[in-house]
Amino acid sequence: MALERQFEIIGEAIFRLDRIDHQNLAIKIPEYPKIIGFRNVIAHGYDIIDYDVLWDFAKERVPELLGKTHNY
């Protein structure tokens, strides 16, 4: 549940950032629409979440995204 909540927070923050700085966000995080979509699945499709996939995503993709966005 805590990991789920963190992804919801990240997705919501990126959604809000997109509203105020779309061009820079698209340059820094080209896959940001997927992150927002991922947040929506977690927030609204909680009954279909595969927690193994969620954990793998946290281990594999989050560090990669952090490497791309540390200067945002």
What are 10-61's pLDDT values in tens digits?
999 999 999 999 999 888 888 899 999 999 998 888 778 888 888 998 898 8
Cα(29)–Cα(16) distance, integer angstroms: 14
Nearest residue to 49 (alpha-carbon basis) of 34, 35, 38: 38
Count of domains for the chain: 1
pLDDT of 72 over the 80 cut: no
Q: What is the pLDDT of residue 17?
A: 94
Global pTM reads 0.76
> Would you put residue 56 in left (φ > 0), alpha (ψ -120 to 50) or beta?
alpha
Cα(10)–Cα(17) distance, integer angstroms: 10
Structural domain of 36: 2-69
Residues composing the chain? 72
pLDDT of 8 over the 90 cut: yes
Nearest residue to 3 (alpha-carbon basis) of 46, 36, 34: 46
Q: What is the pLDDT of residues 25-38, one digit of tens each?
A: 888 888 899 999 99
